[in-house]
Structure 1
Amino acid sequence: MIDIDPNSSGLPGIEQLRTIVGAVMTVGLILSVLALIVSAIIWAYGSNSSNPHLAGRGKIGVLVSCGAAVVCGASVTLINFFWGVGQTV
C-alpha cells in the first residue's frame, strides 16, 4: 500500500505560487463583477430600446458572469471535494 500526500514544503516557490493563484482568483472575481455590471447595462438598454436580441444577450451575460463568479469562488472547495473522491477510489 502506498500512502502519498501533497507536500507543501517539497519545492521552492510553493508559497509564491499560492499567492499568485489567490491573486488570479481575485482578478477573476473582479472581472466577473465588471461583466455583471456591463451585462446588466446592456440588458437594460436592450429592454428600453425594444431590442429583444440585445436584451437577450444581456441576460446571457448576467448568467455567465454569475456562473464565472461561482466557479472562481468555489474552485478550492471543488478541487478539495474531487481530491477526496479520488482518494477513495
Structure 2
Amino acid sequence: MLGALLTVALLVAVAVLIVSATAWAIATAAGSWQGAARARAGVLVSLAGAALTGGALAWTNWLLDTGAHL
C-alpha cells in the first residue's frame, strides 16, 4: 500500500517537472522573466519532491527487508 502511494507521488512529481520545464521554456522564449522564475522554482521543487519520494521508497523497502530478517 505504501509503495503504491509513493509511486503515485513520484509520478505526480515527474508530471509537474514536465509541465514546469515546458512553462519555463515558453516563458523564457516570450521574455517573461517573472514567469520564467516561477517555472524554474517549480522545476526545482518537483526535482526535490521526486528525490525525496524516491528516497522514501528506497528507505521503506530497506526497513521492510531489515525487519523481515530480525
Q: Note whether the superposition's TM-score is higher than 0.5.
A: yes
Tell me the residue number matched to 2:7.
Answer: 26
In the other structure, the counterpart of 2:26 is 45
Offset at 1:57? 0.7
Identity %: 37
| Structure with more helix by fraction | 2
Deviation per residue, 1:59-83 (Å, 9 max, x gap): 10000000001110111528x5xxx
Number of residue equivalences: 61
CA distance in 2, matches of 1:22, 1:77: 11
Q: 2:30 and 2:49 mapped to 1: Cα distance?
A: 28
Tell me the TM-score normalized by structure 1. Answer: 0.63
Q: Which of the pair has more CA radius of gyration?
A: 1
Specify which of 65, 70, 73 is matched with residue 54 of structure 2.
73
Stretches of 4+ moved more than 3 A in 1? none
Give the CA RMSD over aligned residues.
Answer: 1.7
Structure 1 stretches of 5 or more lacking a match? 1-19, 81-89
Rounded Cα–Cα distance in structure 2 between residues aligned with 1:58 and 1:72: 21
User: What does residue 55 of structure 1 align with?
Assistant: 36
Return the structure number with greater relative CO, CA threshold 8 A, min gap 6: 2
Find the residue that maps to 1:64 and give its secondary structure. helix
The answer for the alignment partner of 1:6 in structure 2 is none
CA distance in 2, matches of 1:47, 1:72: 29
